[in-house]
Every structure is written in structure tokens, then in C-alpha cells.
């Protein structure tokens, strides 16, 4: 067995691992990167990238069928599902070189395509190589959680990993799970011509602001998606070529089954006990500095149990690089990390929801709101449904919820504001080009100040006095 030593060993070549490897190696650290599967991890190959590409195909099909309001005749789209999947693969292939082994080896990273397994506090075996590292970062991500539904193991089912192998359009797709992945894929397939039924044991989009979730779910139901909330899948069987799901409210039969009930951290096979690394059901237990119970081992991204977002993994990488390379204190925060669901319309959230803010701040909370229906660009493009609301305490935003067109783009402004403890006055001072959807952010800040300016009798008296004495 070959033995090597390095400054930094990274296990996992997903978003977080790659960001860290690129930064550390280019700043002079001796870096080894382990990846047993595909470079780019889940996001590139099974998650963010392919799902958004398929949603784009669905958007084009939907646009062809809904042009009348713009003076364009409606046309039933002729969907080639295999070609849509070809589009998805082309998108992946276009991005893949950025995450490739060759690119990172060009940075000076030693890439080993093997599974890593701890054999000591700072030693990992990968195939025929034993690596001793000053610091080790686990960035192995997460994978689909498959619930123990009786009969599931005996029927063919899809997850977000295997869905992309499907080249024939499902006649009737049953989706178990009404979270972001389930709802995005439900809408994409409905727009591409599949009948879709979603089964959710609790409330669909249940993590989101209830008002925002209700708005989006109404729109999805309007497109013909059968969303059955508080309906648990209790058993699955195959019958006469169909997949039959027994639920708490009867049975549902369909041609294909997609399981999208959540994700689990990828820690199996790492032998973390050998390194003295504590774990929880959410993943590796870490502190604010992202160190594990072993001071030489860090965890970032999904496996750190603090959220399952590609951008969070990248943020974690930027935090710990200070500690790993410069021995400087660094801690990860979570209040400015946004999340978005890319249905049409979208939902985006950063910081506290309204309910969370009311509970935490009680009588000190103010909620500023502005509706898409008053945005000229949204009116011009017939996307004038939706709203933005910002939770404000003592003049500073502590959370923002957006439901509507480009919500995922708009939320970035509020992440910036919360990350830098900005005031609403600073957002109001922004000038957005007209007409843009981005004006919504400025207008909601204006809505926060409007009562103070226009309903304040003291200000009116001052204005009248000034006007009286002006020459």
C-alpha cells in the first residue's frame, strides 16, 4: 500500500469539496481530493443542474400552450421526452469540465478516485493508498432517503438520482413527497405531458411560509397536478403493469413512482468511529467552526447537518479556509443563507419567516409587504401574481419571503442585507432600472417607510411650515 502525506485531505468532490480544493491548492496548500463517484457530486449530476434544465423544458412546453394573452395562438406542444432528457445531459456536459478531474489536477490537487475510509484520527485509506493529513474535511454530501414503505423494495421506483436515466415519458407519475424536489419534478412532468399525483403525508411545501406555499400550490393545482396533502403512502405493490400505492385515503395507480421524501447524509463506509468523529441522524456533529469532535476533522455541506443547499456548501468552504490555511478563527452563520424552490411561481426565503419572527420578537416586529400586481414589469409580462414581505425589527430586516416570478433571484438582495446588518433605509436608497422585477425589493422597502412619511402628522406640520417660509 502506498503512503502519502498532505496538508489537507478532502473527501468528496461536490460543490463544497471542489470550492475548498481549488482555493486551498491555489494558495499553496498540498491538497488531496477523494471522489469515488462522479466529479461535481449530486448538484451537477442529479440535483440542481438537471432539475433546472428539465424545468426549462417544461417552461417552453407550457409557453407554447399559453400564448393567447400575448396575441399568440395556443399550440399543443409536441413533447419529445427523450430529447428533453438529451437537453438535460447537454447542460450537464457543458458544465462538467469546470468540475473535472483534469481541471483540479491543473490547480495542483492530487485527485484519487476511490472511497475514503478512516483508519485513525488523521489517516484515511482510499483503495491502495493511505493518506496522512494535517487536516481532513468531509464533504460527502447527501443522497435520497428511501422510506421503509412495505412493498417498495419489490417495485421499480425512481429517485432524483435514477430519474435522469428515464427516456420514456411517464404516463402517470406518482410522486411520494411534497417538498421542493417533489414539487419541482411534479410540475416539470405535468408540463411535459404526464399525469401527475403528489402524495404528501403532511403539508406540501411545509417548510415554507404558509401563505407563500398556499399561493404556489394553488397555481400548481391549476395546472392539473393532483396534490394530496395529509395523505401518507402506506404500502406499494405492482399490479397489471401499474404501480399501486395504498394511502391513508385510498389507492392511487400510476405508471411510474418517484420517491422524494428527503435526503440522508452520506456517512456510511467512512468508518468515522475510527477517527473519533461523533454523528447525529442529520450528519456529522460540528460546532460553529465546522469542526467535528476530532479537532483535525471538519465537515461541510449536506453532511454537516445544517442544510442541504449547494450554496451553503460553498459558503462553508469559504469559512473554513481561513482556519485551515491561516489558523484564523472563523465561524459559520446561518441567518443569511437563502433557499428557493424553482416551481413556477418560485418561493424563496432567507432568515426568519413571519411566524418565526413573530414568535422571537413578539411586539417588536413590523412586516413590510409589496405585491407583484403593482410592479410594471410583472404586469407587462403577465406575471403579476405574487408578493414579497420583509420582517423588520428596529429598522433592520431579519427575514424575507418572496413568492412569485424570479423569487430566487430577488432573495439575494435580502441575503446581502442580513449578512451585513443593513438597514431598510439602505435598501430604499437603491436605484433599480425601470421596469424590472428587481424594483420589488426597493418598493417593499418604500412600503416600510410609507406610513412613517405619509401618515405622520408631525411631518406634515413641518412640511407646511417650511412651505410657508420658502421664498
pLDDT in tens, 363-404: 899 999 999 999 999 999 999 999 999 999 999 999 999 999
Question: Once rounded to an integer, what is the mean pLDDT over residues 34-55?
Answer: 96
Q: Roughly what angle, to the nearest 10 degrees, separates helices 407-419 and 439-454?
A: 60
Q: Report helix, strand or coil for 168.
A: coil
pLDDT of residue 459: 66
Mean pLDDT over all residues of the chain?
A: 95
The pLDDT, as a whole number, for residue 263 is: 95
Confidence check: pLDDT of 457 > 70: no
Kindly indicate the confidence band of residue 450, based on its pLDDT and cuts at 50, 70 and 90.
confident
pLDDT on residue 140: 97
* Interval 137-150 mean pLDDT: 96
- Which residues are within 8 A (CB) of 16 and not within 5 positions of it... i.e. 6 or more apart? 139, 141, 300, 301, 313, 314, 316, 317
Q: Is the pLDDT of residue 430 over 90?
A: yes
Q: What is the CATH T-level fold of the domain 152-261, as seen in this structure?
A: FAD/NAD(P)-binding domain (3.50.50)
Percentage of the residues of the chain whose pLDDT score is greater than 70:
98
Output the pLDDT for position 138.
98
Phi, psi of 163, deg, nearest 5 = -55, -35
Count other Cβ atoms within 10 Å, centred on residue 423: 16
Q: What is the pLDDT of residue 363?
A: 86
Is the pLDDT score of 235 beyond 70?
yes
Residue tagged 428533453 (cell numbers): 84
Residue 255, pLDDT > 70, answer yes
Q: How confident is the model at residue 464 (pLDDT cuts 50, 70, 90)?
A: confident
User: Among the residues of 269-342, which ranges form H helices?
Assistant: 310-326
Is residue 389 a contact partner of residue 400, using CB atoms and an 8 Å limit?
A: yes
**The domain made up of 2-39+100-144+264-326 is a member of CATH 3.50.50.60:** yes
What whole-number distance in Å separates Cα of residue 377 and Cα of residue 371?
Answer: 12
CATH code of the domain occupying 339-454: 3.30.390.30
pLDDT tens digits, one per residue of 96-114: 999 999 999 999 999 999 9
CA 449 from centre of chain: 32
- Residue 455 scores a pLDDT above 70: no
- Predicted confidence at residue 454, as pLDDT, reads 61
Give the span between the Cα atoms of 334 and 222, in whole angstroms.
35
Domain with CATH 3.50.50.60 in the chain: 2-39+100-144+264-326, 152-261
CA-wise closest residue to 323 among 137, 180, 194: 137
Q: What is the DSSP string of 368-391?
A: EEEEGGG-HHHHHTT----EEEEE
Confidence of residue 465 (pLDDT cuts 50, 70, 90): confident
SS3 state at 300: coil
pLDDT of residue 231: 97
**Torsional class of 162: left (φ above 0), alpha (ψ -120 to 50), beta (otherwise):** alpha
Question: What integer pLDDT is reported at residue 113 of this predicted model?
Answer: 97
Instruction: Quote the DSSP letter at residue 281.
Output: T
Query: What pLDDT shows up at residue 207?
Result: 95
pLDDT of residue 468: 77
In the structure, what pLDDT confidence band is assigned to residue 173 with cuts at 50, 70 and 90?
very high
Q: What share of the chain is helix, strand, coil (3-state, %, to 5)?
A: 40, 25, 35
Average pLDDT over residues 333-361: 97
Ranges in the chain annotated CATH 3.30.390.30: 339-454
Amino acid at each position: 500500500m502506498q503512503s502519502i502525506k498532505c496538508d489537507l485531505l478532502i473527501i468528496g468532490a461536490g460543490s463544497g469539496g471542489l470550492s475548498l480544493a481549488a482555493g486551498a491548492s491555489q494558495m499553496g496548500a498540498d491538497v488531496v481530493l477523494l471522489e469515488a463517484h462522479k466529479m461535481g457530486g449530486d448538484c451537477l449530476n442529479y440535483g440542481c443542474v438537471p432539475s433546472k434544465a428539465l424545468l426549462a423544458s417544461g417552461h417552453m412546453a407550457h409557453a407554447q400552450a399559453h400564448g393567447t394573452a400575448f396575441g399568440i395562438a395556443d399550440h399543443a406542444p409536441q413533447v419529445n421526452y427523450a430529447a428533453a432528457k438529451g437537453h438535460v445531459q447537454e447542460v450537464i456536459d457543458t458544465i462538467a469540465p469546470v468540475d473535472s478531474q483534469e481541471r483540479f489536477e491543473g490547480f495542483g490537487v492530487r485527485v484519487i478516485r476511490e472511497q475514503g475510509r478512516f483508519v485513525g484520527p488523521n489517516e484515511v485509506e482510499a483503495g491502495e493508498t493511505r493518506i496522512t493529513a494535517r487536516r481532513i474535511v468531509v464533504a460527502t454530501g447527501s443522497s435520497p432517503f428511501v422510506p421503509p414503505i412495505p412493498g417498495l423494495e419489490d417495485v421499480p421506483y425512481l429517485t432524483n438520482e435514477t430519474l435522469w436515466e428515464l427516456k420514456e415519458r411517464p404516463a402517470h407519475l406518482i410522486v411520494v413527497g411534497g417538498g421542493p424536489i417533489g414539487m419541482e419534478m411534479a410540475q416539470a412532468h405535468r408540463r411535459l405531458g404526464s399525469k401527475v399525483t403528489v402524495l404528501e403525508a403532511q403539508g406540501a411545501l411545509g417548510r415554507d411560509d404558509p401563505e407563500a406555499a398556499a399561493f404556489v400550490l394553488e397555481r400548481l393545482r391549476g395546472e392539473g397536478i393532483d396534490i394530496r396533502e395529509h395523505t401518507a403512502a402506506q404500502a406499494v405493490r405492482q399490479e397489471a403493469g401499474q404501480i399501486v400505492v395504498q394511502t391513508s385515503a385510498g389507492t392511487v395507480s400510476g405508471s411510474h413512482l418517484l420517491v422524494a421524501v428527503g435526503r440522508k447524509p452520506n456517512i456510511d463506509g467512512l468508518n468515522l468511529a475510527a477517527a473519533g468523529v461523533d454523528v447525529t441522524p442529520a450528519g456529522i456533529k460540528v460546532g460553529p467552526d465546522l469542526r467535528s469532535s476530532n479537532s483535525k476533522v471538519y465537515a461541510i455541506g449536506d453532511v454537516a447537518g445544517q442544510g442541504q443547499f449547494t450554496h451553503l456548501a460553498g459558503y462553508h468552504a469559504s469559512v473554513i479556509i481561513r482556519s485551515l490555511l491561516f489558523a484564523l478563527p472563523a465561524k459559520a452563520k446561518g441567518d443569511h443563507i437563502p433557499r428557493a424552490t424553482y416551481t413556477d411561481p418560485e418561493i424563496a426565503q432567507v432568515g426568519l419567516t413571519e411566524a418565526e419572527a413573530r414568535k422571537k420578537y413578539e411586539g417588536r416586529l413590523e412586516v413590510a409587504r409589496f405585491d407583484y400586481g403593482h410592479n410594471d414589469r410583472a404586469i407587462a409580462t403577465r406575471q403579476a401574481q405574487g408578493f414579497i414581505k420583509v420582517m423588520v425589527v428596529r429598522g433592520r430586516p431579519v427575514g424575507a419571503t418572496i413568492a412569485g416570478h424570479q423569487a430566487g433571484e430577488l432573495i439575494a438582495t435580502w441575503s446581502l442585507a442580513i449578512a451585513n446588518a443593513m438597514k431598510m433605509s439602505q435598501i430604499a436608497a437603491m436605484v433599480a432600472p425601470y421596469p424590472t422585477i428587481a424594483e420589488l425589493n426597493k418598493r417593499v422597502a418604500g412600503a416600510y417607510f410609507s406610513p412613517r412619511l405619509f401618515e405622520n402628522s408631525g411631518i406634515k406640520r413641518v412640511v407646511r411650515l417650511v412651505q410657508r417660509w420658502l421664498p
